[in-house]
Structure 1
């Protein structure tokens, strides 16, 4: 199989192009290259997630690598747990893609993604066509799941500057994905009135006319109920878009400008600098220059 790492892990048609046997070999190769004793693993709610997670674990176990399986959980949670506990991390997800796709992305013990060198080393091992023996052990949710996830949710709560979100009405669109069991409750715990939509993953409805790939329904609900804000996540909850109180989409450049200016005002913007991509528009750069923020 000729699958290779792309810009964010490996993605392909699940069980057709991305087959369990290959995922097991990928797990064994990743265990060798990353070189940790334990991996934390999550899926985003696709029906093929548990099958591929079990295959991944078979590969990890061939290299005597332990695992903590979280079931459905956001990608940022895995990155945070990997960083906090010095675990390797693996997320089985195809992000914003349709449910028939799936994929894998890995994290190093510091919570960072694999370097190009790491990916090349894994691909070199995969090229040797070494088989992985089938373990036939059923995958079980980690007994440490709640404790591990609480370190992430507690960190999120502690990062909120306001004492609470009392008085705010927020519509949360979880894309029937990994945010479904986390985002609405997090906002509620912070005091907001939450209207939660697209929060019932059934294995096939992830990103279906929902989430950050289609904000039409979210925009309509925000206007209908006179909400203060709408938030749309993608399938694995590693990105979000916002809707203002008039129902208009707030694009990524605008969000980044808001965050950068707020952080500078609070003297927590490292080096008074914000990182951007080549797609960031010229107006953003002008706005940051006026705010004395480097890009």
Structure 2
């Protein structure tokens, strides 16, 4: 069996790749791996289960709840809430595990299952491997002890989850948002109620779009992967800025008052300066990935803030933050982690903290984001090549060295193999887009010739 878990849980086309049977079996396995310590300590294990509004989430939720309860786990069903809400509630309620059903920014036919361990933390690879091993053992007929009678899990609708999470968000703010007018694009997703409520309670005037989920329209030409509607709405309403989430609201991108995009690197730059000013940017360090824009790195150096870079993926950012005690990290895509208030990327929290900085300083978002100049960045995918040789082929090494000499200190080159496809990603940053394109195309040709 190939590995079920990808970089962010188990994901696939609902009812094709991700079936009710798979969801039930994985939940039983997760109960055995993540909740067994709870049973040994003499209390009944508990799980928090949430989902985004996808239609398929309804039957998948039923399967997950059935699997957990059949394994003797009491279930707190929180309904439609963002991924970071499930992570927060798992920790706040002292649950043994959390389960979120969502495919994040993917199109509606997809869905996914993401597990959280005690405290609301993402699973390490070894825990995912253990869950897969137990799942496969059960699937192939190895018997497992099934509780009966009073030993089966009980299922409760935990309706207090919404208010508890919103209160947590508002309580994390250093100041109120009175006087701000904000457009929120909820991607017809999991934050369609949470985010507008949190911004309103914090004092902002709120205009919402993409906040009418019907189970079928999630991420459909809206949200953080489709910013055109948000840009137009911000300008139309004369708003101070706009915030866009993805389907499960663990991402946040922004649009300034003129309708210009403010990406994850720029948001990180603004929040890094705010946290340092408040004395909360531990070790004066922010964590990004190797895809962080060179302009971000240059801005942090200029401001005396160290940038630690990890592999691509918010889980690697989080691992670095937890290992070294850093307070802030994230990705260009809008996954931003503020470790004092969240155990995972939280798009609503990020948007609120960004708004709080605008309100506290009285400066426009465009002005704040101007702390960094985003250098042109061009990415070319080179398919159907032997990606394993990208780091060892001498002709590629020579071409990269030549390109780096040409770009100098105002550009950079990054070649990396895809984790899921037979292709190599060629990324070039330069002082202008024409130079970036020319260098990237030249390197892509070399990769194709050397590895094709």
| TM-score, structure 2 as length reference | 0.62
Answer whether contact 2:83 2:248 (CA < 8 A) is retained: yes
For 1:271 and 1:106, the matched residues in 2 are separated by 31
Which residue of 138, 149, 153 corresponds with 2:162?
Answer: 149
For 1:143 and 1:118, the matched residues in 2 are separated by 28
For 1:143 and 1:93, the matched residues in 2 are separated by 19
- 2:76 maps to 1:64: no
For 1:183 and 1:85, the matched residues in 2 are separated by 21
Q: Tell me which residue corresponds to 1:117.
A: 126
Deviations 1:227-274 (A, max 9, x none): 001000000011110010000000111111111111001101122111
For 1:17 and 1:116, the matched residues in 2 are separated by 21
Q: CA deviation at 1:151?
A: 2.8
SS at match of 1:106: strand
Q: Tell me which residue corresponds to 2:371.
A: none
**CA shift in 2, pair 1:113/1:83, >3 Å:** same
Answer whether contact 1:40 1:69 (CA < 8 A) is retained: yes
Ranges in structure 1 where 5+ consecutive residues have no aligned partner: 134-139
Q: Tell me which residue corresponds to 1:171.
A: 183
For 2:258 and 2:51, the matched residues in 1 are separated by 34
Q: CA deviation at 1:144?
A: 3.0
Rg larger for: 2
Answer whether contact 2:20 2:60 (CA < 8 A) is retained: yes
**CA shift in 2, pair 1:211/1:141, >3 Å:** farther
SS at match of 2:84: helix
- 2:107 maps to 1:98: yes
- 2:2 maps to 1:5: no
- 2:223 maps to 1:248: no
Instruction: Please give the root-mean-square deviation of Cα atoms over the aligned residues, in Å.
Output: 1.8
Answer whether contact 2:24 2:66 (CA < 8 A) is retained: yes
Alignment of 1:1-295 (within 5 A): 2=2, 4-35=4-35, 36=38, 37-87=45-95, 88-128=97-137, 129-130=139-140, 142-146=156-160, 148-162=161-175, 164-295=176-307
Answer whether contact 2:69 2:155 (CA < 8 A) is retained: no
Answer whether contact 1:45 1:203 (CA < 8 A) is retained: yes
Which structure has more helix as a fraction of its residues?
Answer: 2
For 1:288 and 1:222, the matched residues in 2 are separated by 29
Ranges in structure 2 where 5+ consecutive residues have no aligned partner: 39-44, 147-153, 308-452
For 1:151 and 1:225, the matched residues in 2 are separated by 31
SS at match of 1:275: strand
Q: Which moved more, 1:3-12 or 1:39-48?
A: 3-12
SS at match of 1:18: coil
Q: CA deviation at 1:152?
A: 2.0
Answer whether contact 2:98 2:117 (CA < 8 A) is retained: yes
For 2:48 and 2:283, the matched residues in 1 are separated by 33
Deviations 1:179-219 (A, max 9, x none): 10111111111111111111011010000000001011010
Q: Tell me which residue corresponds to 1:136.
A: none
For 1:143 and 1:209, the matched residues in 2 are separated by 32
For 1:3 and 1:178, the matched residues in 2 are separated by 27
SS at match of 1:55: helix
Q: Tell me which residue corresponds to 1:137.
A: none
Answer whether contact 2:182 2:205 (CA < 8 A) is retained: yes
Deviations 1:28-54 (A, max 9, x none): 001111114111111100001010011
For 2:259 and 2:173, the matched residues in 1 are separated by 24
Answer whether contact 2:166 2:197 (CA < 8 A) is retained: no
